[in-house]
Amino acid sequence: MKTILYLLLLCLGSSVVAFAQREDVKFTHLTNVQGLSQGTVRSIVKDNYGFVWFGTQDGLNKYDGYKFTVYRNIPKDKFSLRSNDINVVYEDRQGNLWIGTNGGALNLYNRKTDTFTRFYEGREGASGLSHRDITSIYEDKKGNLWIGTNWGLNLLDRKTNEITPYVPDPAKKNSLSHGTISAILEDSYGNLWVGTGGGLNLMDRGTGTFQHFLHQEGSKGSISHNQVTSLIEDDNKNLWIGTNGGGLNRFNTRSNTFTHFVQQADPLFSVGSNNINCMESAGDGKIWIGTSNSLDLFDPKTKRFSHYSSNTSDVSSLSNGTIISMLQDKEGILWVGTYSGGINKYDRNLIFSKPTKVTIPITSV
């Protein structure tokens, strides 16, 4: 028997090949074939009633798990959406659904009447939002609603509907560093961070002033790029900043410096692209990162990245590699919005496996 085993091992060489199972991320897709109004999905929200809302370049979509209901502007109907070009969908803690648009300012959805209330930009003789292009919406811990636009940040008083705008002012060095607001986040310490097209800002809400964090050429401790696209706080209360052109940054609150994670030769320790569009908590301290050419899963503990891209020969890969919105819901399902490729859904409970070769060295016979 030993002789037979020896000959078998001799034929195989110095090792035998065994098969093990490893997890392999598979996506299902929702496109216009299933009823999605348009393929560029900029914003995703799952509301308290279980509906998933998608903001696209042509309409607001409500998905019940089986079919889509599409909301668009109806001419001469002031209770419809003011614009079909949706930038952001946001649900506050009271269950109100806010929709920020390009050209149509802010809209509030009324669930009972299935209609919308419009909030307008400021006009001659009347106050209002600082701009009609809404880029971000955020509710802080006190229930204040902050609205970012292409020209300034706005505070909406929920009781009076009065709006206080904050815009860049060259005469005031502590005003916003840039007018385009891309991201808003209140961290665990109560700090309100504002990402702009020209730097990261920390707001002093008592004085209405801003501290600026700007890229400084030659300074390794400064932010890697001024065009901030996304903000997220991890489970360890670290602030992470995504940029368009400078990759990923981690902010050190003690030293007020930044650590950079940029694209490099080794993909294991490299972000998929220096152009980051969005980020989302993945649980277990990890972060999903949407870039211009891949979906990355980042583990801050090991500083390692896993990359998922679009592959035309693999029907279960991403439909498009440019990731522009994400949501991981309470059930752990990841919803991924792409540029022109519709929606990608990753359900961990529906993971497929495939065999991969593992080499087991033979030490004795």
CB 53 within 8 Å of CB 41 = no
Give the chain's mean pLDDT: 91
Exposure of 204 in the CB half-sphere (CA atoms within 13 A)? 9
**Using 50, 70 and 90 to split pLDDT, how confident is the model at 23?**
very low
The tens digit of pLDDT for each residue in 125-160 reads 678 999 999 999 999 999 999 999 999 999 999 888
The tens digit of pLDDT for each residue in 260-287 reads 999 999 999 999 999 999 999 999 999 9
CA distance 173 to 201: 12
272 Cβ neighbours under 8 A, 6+ residues apart: 263, 289, 291, 293, 294, 295, 296, 305, 307, 309
Per-domain residue ranges of the chain: 2-361
Strands (E), 256-303: 257-261, 276-283, 286-291, 295-299
Span 2-361: which CATH code?
Answer: 2.130.10.10
Interval 88-100 mean pLDDT: 97
The tens digit of pLDDT for each residue in 304-314 reads 999 999 999 99
pLDDT at 350: 75
CA distance 72 to 58: 8
The structure tokens listed for 302 are: 């090991």
pLDDT at 159: 86
16 Cβ neighbours under 8 A, 6+ residues apart: 9, 360, 362
CA distance 143 to 10: 72
CA distance 118 to 99: 10
pLDDT at 339: 98
Residue matched to tokens 């059930």: 331
CA distance 213 to 223: 7
Alpha carbon distance, N-terminus to C-terminus of the chain: 11
Interval 197-207 mean pLDDT: 97
Buried b or exposed e, range 229-266, using 16+ CB within 10 angstroms: bbbbbbeeebbbbbbbebbbbbbeeeeebbebbbeeee
**φ, ψ for residue 24, nearest 5 deg:** -135, 120
How far out from the chain centre does Cα 29 lie?
18
pLDDT at 8: 43
* Residue 364, pLDDT above cutoff 60: no
